[in-house]
Every structure is written in structure tokens, then in C-alpha cells.
Amino acid sequence: MIGGAAATFARRGSLGTETFLPLASAPEPLDARVTLREVQPSRVAVIQYGGFWSESNYDEHLVKLKSAMKAENLTWIGEPVFSRYNGPTTPWFMRRNEIWLHVSDKPV
């Protein structure tokens, strides 16, 4: 469980914001557009990198993550998840980005 960490996720074609916190301590949303949902535990492989978002930077690091997983005989399921942790005023050299791939339980 990632308690209190906020991240913005972009999957190709969609954009949203998710905040992870224990469901028991989550306040009841006051806005109907905000929903609470339980997320089941899962294993993810992650690559972290800095800088501004660009498609070329994203693609470069996604290839690296997939290559590292293949080298370890791991497979992934679903779409990659892009996660950002910084506000828009954070300088590019201080930004933290991640790409997550959900690890499949099935061997290669």
C-alpha cells in the first residue's frame, strides 16, 4: 500500500489523477466526480527517470523497462502506467517520473 502518495497516470488516450491511501482512512468525497475504489495488491515492475514528459523520453524508458523484464524472464499484462509526482512549477531537473508494468504470474 502506498499511503498518501499522489500520482497522475496517463495511459495512451486517457488521463486521470489517482491518490493511493488506506481505504479505511479515506474521507468521503464531497464532489460526485470523485470516486473511491479498492485496488487489489499487485506486483509491478517500475523504471524511474527525471525530466519533462515527452513521448520520445517515455518510449525510451518503456523499451528499457521491457528489456529488463525480458532479461529476468518476466512478462507483463495490461497497458503501461505513466506516473508523475511533481507539480507544474517543479524544475525539469528535479522532476520524477515512473513507468509501471503489471507483472504477470505466468512464466515466459
Question: Could you report the per-residue pLDDT of 23-33, keeping only the tens digit for each?
Answer: 788 888 898 88
- Overall average pLDDT of the 31-59 stretch: 88
Residues 6+ apart with CB under 8 A from 86: 94, 95, 96
Whose cell is 524472464? That residue is 73
Beta-bridge partners for 9: 16, 83
Average pLDDT over residues 36-51: 89
**Per-residue model confidence as pLDDT tens digits over 34-43:** 888 888 888 9
pLDDT of residue 27: 87
The span from the CA of 97 to the CA of 38, in Å, is 24
> Domains, the chain, ranges and CATH?
5-103 (3.20.80.10)
Helix (H, G, I), strand (E, B) or coil at 44: strand
Residue 86 DSSP SS3: coil
Cα separation, 43 vs 105, whole angstroms: 9
